[in-house]
Amino acid sequence: MKTIIEPFKIKSIEPIRFTTVEERTAILEEAHYNPFLIHAENVMIDLLTDSGTSAMSAKQWAGIMEGDESYAGARSFFRFEKVVKKLTGMKYIIPTHQGRAAEKIIFSVVGGKGKFIPNNTHFDTTRANVEFSGAVAVDFPTEEGTRPELIADFKGNMNIPALEQFIQEKGAENIPVCFITITNNSGGGQPVSMRNIRETKEVLKRYGIPLYIDACRFAENAFFIKKREEGYANTPVADIVHEMFSYADGCTMSAKKDAIVNMGGFLAMNDEAIASSARNLLIITEGFPTYGGLAGRDLEAIAQGLDEVLDEHYLTYRLRSVEYLGNKLTESGVPILQPPGGHAIYLDAKRFLPAISPDQYPGQSIVVELFRQGGIRSVEIGSVMFGTYRADGSLQSPPMELVRLAIPRRVYTQSHIDYVIEVVIETFERREAMKGYAITYEAPQLRHFTAQFAPL
Ligand code: F0G
């Protein structure tokens, strides 16, 4: 087979500012060793997130000029609505400024004290919005989904027996909705199978609980189904997407991922009463229902992006470029969460730095070294992000210590990724010399964004 090439050529570029190891050492010190506090112009390769960092196409930029900025009834809204209806098959489409705004609205409508919201794995903003409504967020990953070294096709799946047991324990009347996140971001960007979505729906249907999809990376998930699930090899991705959504009663979407735009999102559903309450909230917090929190031009760019993301040459390149990074690291012995996910590679910091205990933040140590050695910005997903304190002040760590290298869509070429590979391998080779970190300042919530660190 020939090399899989980027299925686009580059029309407009942004220069990268080159820095030296000495300069980056000073930048790190100034940022208190927290990648969120580094100015973006000081980053050479930015793998902090795949959210809102994608490159738009010429057609999307043309859509920006085409945007109809009327307050009510804008043409751009109807184009957007038509595309989203076709994609999801849902009746009511509500634009929001990003994914978490859709989450805030739906959980304000259906959540609240005494309610439970299950999910295969909640993303952190989803969990925060469930909890903000007073409800309890509960994760149901499968056993294989929590084992980083295990290679399996659908590690993002919902643990259906555990979900059903939970419904019986808590009572269906206390579970207003169940979510399924595709791909499972917090679980490593791992896909969910069609069978798992269908069977989750079958169980929920018996109890009268609606199923909503957290659809941020729906196209990547659909392409994994095409490549890995029996019976889908010859099915067009668009049909796979339709089938996935056919099992859902609603969805939340961050367009900053698989709609390949820099800002936007939506909420969609079939239930008229929920849609009506959601629209009332939308008007208070986001805007009139034909623009939500967005400009007409954003709606145009989303509509176009949702079409482009279904292109199978694009999806082949997308999944392959992430897999390429993962495979090269694996070949060199760098421990990663297996198999490579759809949007990111997660370094397994516990195996990368076994001598550094979780309370000395091994993931943060890797994040700092990748920046120092190569100007690469990544993010710790472990004890810094999810650690809590026990009553005696000791750290309660999450099960995994990971470092995420998220790949923006259509932004970096293979030589950028080859450079990333070299820097990660070099860092791995000198891991014996790496030290842990202490937190010197932290905010009471979501501490990773603003925490300050000092090397030990
Ligand atoms: N759900 C999932 C699965 C996500 O990954 C995100 C965002 C959201 C919801 C919220 O969407 O940012 O538009 O409000 N994930 C980004 C990330 C921030 O870096 O993984 P948003």
**What is the per-residue pLDDT for 146?**
87
Report how far ligand 1's centroid is from the alpha carbon of 307 (Å): 20
Instruction: Give the pLDDT confidence of 235-245 residue by residue, as tens digits.
Output: 999 999 999 99
Which of 107, 185, 446 to probe ligand 1 with, by most ligand atoms within 8 A of CB? Answer: 185
The domains of the chain, with CATH numbers, are 21-50+311-455 (3.90.1150.10), 58-308 (3.40.640.10)
> Above 80 in pLDDT, residue 37?
yes
What element of type H or E holds 351? helix 349-352
Looking at ligand 1, which residue's alpha carbon is closest to its atom 15?
51
**What is the per-residue pLDDT for 399?**
85
Ligand 1 pocket check for 185: Cβ under 6 Å: yes
Ligand 1 pocket check for 99: Cβ under 6 Å: yes
Ligand 1 pocket check for 125: Cβ under 6 Å: yes
Report how far ligand 1's centroid is from the alpha carbon of 123 (Å): 7
Cis peptide leading into residue 148 (ω within 30°): no
Q: What is the mean pLDDT of the chain?
A: 97
Rounded (5°) CA angle 16-189-437: 65
pTM: 0.96
**What is the per-residue pLDDT for 312?**
97
CA distances from 60 to 54, 55, 179, 342 (A): 12, 10, 30, 23
Compute the distance between CA of residue 181 and CA of residue 156 in angstroms, rounded to an integer: 8
Report how far ligand 1's centroid is from the alpha carbon of 99 (Å): 6
Looking at ligand 1, which residue's alpha carbon is closest to its atom 21?
99
Q: Which atom of ligand 1 is nearest to the CA of 102?
A: 14
Instruction: Give the pLDDT confidence of 145-172 residue by residue, as tens digits.
Output: 988 999 999 999 999 999 999 999 999 9
Q: What is the DSSP string of 144-174?
A: GGG-TT---TTTT-B-HHHHHHHHHHH-GGG
**What is the per-residue pLDDT for 12?**
95
> Above 90 in pLDDT, residue 188?
no
> Above 90 in pLDDT, residue 231?
yes
Which of 49, 51, 286, 322 to probe ligand 1 with, by most ligand atoms within 8 A of CB? Answer: 51
Q: Which atom of ligand 1 is nearest to the CA of 256?
A: 13
